[in-house]
């Protein structure tokens, strides 16, 4: 067993533990922490499999960005004094059947790709060159659009709180 196998095993364990934690918990803060563990596991898998740019992007965009937005949304939500937010949904057999059906569909659709993967030859800095070269304007415009959407949500929430 090589070091790569051990690292990938740890990343897979983190992903499974985070996914189970996010699925089975009712406490919203534990759900966010479990989602963070899952996303860090994905970043670890990218790192072990030789994609450090994707790993860093995963940490910055999803762990740093999305989780902070979720925590920010939790702070803005109104609730009674001393109450902790909890999920209202219940787990039922229908949701499990649908999840297993989607999983089976993915296995059937992706099995030909996994059996005979075609190797792709890409220069190591090709993605960075695309993002920071000719694609930097589009990348920055997407970031500005997301920032404008966040500010719009804050204005809407703030406007609703004063009524």
**Predicted local confidence at residue 145, as pLDDT:** 81
In the listed set 69, 87, 111, which residue is the last one of a domain according to the structure?
Answer: 111
**Mind listing the pLDDT tens digit of every residue in the chain (163 residues)?**
888 889 999 999 999 999 998 888 877 788 888 988 999 999 999 888 888 888 888 888 888 888 888 777 777 665 656 666 555 555 667 767 877 888 888 788 777 766 666 666 666 667 666 666 666 777 677 777 877 777 777 777 666 555 4
Q: Tokens standing for 37?
A: 């563990």
Looking at the structure, tell me whether residues 129 and 101 fall in a common domain: no
Report yes or no: 31 and 87 within 8 Å, Cβ to Cβ.
Answer: yes
Domain span including residue 137: 124-163
* pTM, 2 dp: 0.56
For residue 119, being part of any structural domain is answered with no
Looking at the structure, tell me whether residues 62 and 12 fall in a common domain: yes
CATH classification at residue 8: 1.20.120.1200
Looking at the structure, tell me whether residues 96 and 130 fall in a common domain: no
CA angle 107, 109, 112 (to 5 degrees): 90
Looking at the structure, tell me whether residues 138 and 74 fall in a common domain: no
Helix, strand, coil shares of the chain, percent, nearest 5, are 75, 0, 25
Cα 28 from Cα 33, distance rounded (Å): 9
Looking at the structure, tell me whether residues 107 and 54 fall in a common domain: yes
Looking at the structure, tell me whether residues 137 and 106 fall in a common domain: no
Report yes or no: 21 and 30 within 8 Å, Cβ to Cβ.
Answer: yes
Residues 6+ apart with CB under 8 A from 103: none
How many domains does the chain fold into?
2
Looking at the structure, tell me whether residues 90 and 133 fall in a common domain: no
Looking at the structure, tell me whether residues 141 and 89 fall in a common domain: no
């Amino acid at each position: 067993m090589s070091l790569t196998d051990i690292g990938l095993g740890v990343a897979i364990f983190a992903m499974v533990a985070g996914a189970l934690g996010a699925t089975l918990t009712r406490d919203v803060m534990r759900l966010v922490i479990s989602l963070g563990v899952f996303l860090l596991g994905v970043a670890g898998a990218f790192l072990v499999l030789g994609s450090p740019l994707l790993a860093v992007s995963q940490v910055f965009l999803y762990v740093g960005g999305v989780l902070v937005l979720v925590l920010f949304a939790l702070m803005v939500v109104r609730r009674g004094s001393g109450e902790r937010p909890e999920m209202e949904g219940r787990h039922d057999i229908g949701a499990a059947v649908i999840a297993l059906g989607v999983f089976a569909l993915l296995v059937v659709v992706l099995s030909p790709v996994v059996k005979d993967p075609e190797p792709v030859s890409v220069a190591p800095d090709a993605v960075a060159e695309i993002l920071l070269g000719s694609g930097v304007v589009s990348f920055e415009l997407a970031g500005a659009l997301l920032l404008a959407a966040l500010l719009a949500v804050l204005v809407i929430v703030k406007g609703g709180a004063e009524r």
